[in-house]
């Protein structure tokens, strides 16, 4: 993975209210940490980091971070995490993980299917992406942005497992080798589709029934209306006196 240059600045406003003011000014709060250094609060220009990620295959980025007034001119770091706003998708915060050039690091890398599976093309099967990311370990310069997996030879019922993936030179794929990454499933028959639709309808009916029962229970559990002012409460029912023998 080729490193790209990025400028950063020591963060001045570190409180919660300061983060909003910082974003309004066109910068994003960030933090850099590593095994050899203490965590440091930073801020980066929002357009700079957005442009880097926009032109990258994934959010896995290796940056030469130049922090203003820092004792070291550049610090090699991975973009460890980018937090986005849940509604508008804007970047809220960036985590940088400082690494050394000779240090093997572990990251999650996206998996991309290439080619058209035989089972899909001729058998009408369905290509299923079981894992969208896999864990790899390598030196920073050898880290891949994406792992491409050729699915052309996959028949219906076949799958490519973690152990089947051929990683680039210098890259180690981690995880259980028997776990499926991409598979071709048989198409649903008309009977299976009808059963799935019926099951979905039954689930909806069950939810409606539960809702109706809850509403009925709520109505039954309501207290009787209290007597109006000036009215006597209904007298308790008297038991008839027992006859003497």
Looking at the structure, do residues 13 and 65 belong to the same domain, yes or no? yes
Q: Do the beta carbons of residue 116 and residue 52 sit within 8 Å?
A: no
Domain count, the chain: 2
Would you give per-residue pLDDT tens digits along the chain (245 residues)? 888 999 999 987 666 667 888 888 899 999 999 877 788 999 999 999 999 988 887 778 999 999 998 888 889 999 988 999 899 888 899 999 999 999 999 999 999 999 999 999 998 999 999 999 999 999 999 999 999 999 999 999 999 999 999 999 999 999 999 999 999 999 876 666 677 677 776 655 565 566 555 556 555 555 545 555 455 545 544 455 555 54
Q: Are 32 and 113 within one domain?
A: no
Q: Does pTM surpass 0.85?
A: no
Is 147 a domain residue? yes
Whether residue 178 is found in the same domain as residue 166: yes
Are 111 and 87 found together in one domain? no
- In this structure, how many other beta carbons lie within 10 angstroms of the beta carbon of residue 65? 23
| One domain, residues 69 and 26 | yes
Same domain, 96 and 117: no
In a domain, 203, yes or no: no
Domain boundary among 87, 102, 117: 102
Host domain of residue 32: 4-102
Q: What is the DSSP-derived secondary structure letter of residue 72?
A: S
Domain boundary at 102, 119, 149, which? Answer: 102
- For 101-114, give one letter per residue: b (16+ CB within 10 A) or e: eeeebebebbbebe
CATH number of the domain within which 29 lies? 2.40.240.10
User: What's 129's domain CATH number?
Assistant: 2.170.120.20
């Amino acid at each position: 993975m080729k490193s790209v240059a990025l400028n950063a600045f020591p963060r001045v406003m570190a409180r919660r209210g300061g983060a909003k003011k910082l974003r309004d000014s066109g910068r994003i709060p960030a933090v850099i940490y590593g095994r050899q250094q203490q965590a440091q609060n930073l801020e980066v220009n929002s357009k700079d980091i957005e442009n880097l990620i926009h032109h990258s295959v994934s959010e896995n980025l290796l940056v030469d971070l130049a922090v203003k007034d820092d004792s070291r001119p550049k610090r090699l770091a991975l973009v460890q995490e980018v937090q986005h706003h849940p509604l508008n998708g804007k970047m809220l915060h960036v985590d940088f993980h400082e690494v050394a050039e000779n240090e093997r690091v572990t990251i999650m890398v996206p998996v991309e299917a290439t080619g058209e599976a035989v089972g899909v093309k001729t058998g009408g099967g369905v290509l299923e992406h079981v894992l969208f990311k896999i864990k790899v370990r390598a030196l920073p310069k050898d880290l891949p942005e994406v792992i491409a997996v050729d699915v052309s030879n996959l028949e219906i019922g076949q799958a490519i497992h973690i152990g089947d993936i051929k990683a680039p030179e210098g890259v180690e794929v981690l995880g259980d080798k028997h776990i499926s990454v991409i598979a071709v499933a048989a198409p649903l028959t008309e009977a299976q589709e009808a059963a799935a639709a019926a099951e979905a309808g039954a689930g909806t009916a069950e939810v409606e029934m539960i809702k109706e029962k809850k509403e009925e229970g709520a109505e039954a559990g309501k207290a009787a209306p209290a007597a109006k002012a000036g009215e006597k409460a209904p007298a308790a029912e008297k038991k008839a006196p027992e006859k003497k023998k």
